[in-house]
Amino acid sequence: MPLPANRMAVAVKQRKGVCSVISLEQFFRDDQGQDLIEYTLLMAFVSLASAALFTSAGGSINTVFSVANTLFSKAASLASGGT
């Protein structure tokens, strides 16, 4: 497929094992693979937000487990006949 004289070839596209040169206009109009990039960016955003949430919630969770550990220790001591 020859390109018109006013089009500049910028990329080589491969489909079904056949390479063909595409024009700059076709290159920018082609949206194949766009969904994959969008989902990758969304996944990166969700993972960063989750990391920030877990980092900030770490202190609160540590406090909850410390209080629970203290209460279980007291309950075990009382159950074994301690004071």
Q: What pLDDT, in 10s, does the model give residues 23-77?
A: 777 777 777 777 888 899 999 999 999 998 888 787 788 889 999 999 999 999 9
Q: Say how far apart CA 69 and CA 71 lie, in whole Å.
A: 5
Domain ranges of the chain: 1-30, 33-83
The Cα-based distances of 25 to 8, 28, 70 in angstroms read 9, 5, 68
pTM, whole model, 2 decimals? Answer: 0.40
| Burial (CB count <10 Å: 0-12, 13-18, 19+), residue 47 | exposed
Cβ atoms of 35 and 44 closer than 8 Å: no
The residue behind tokens 């993972």 is 47
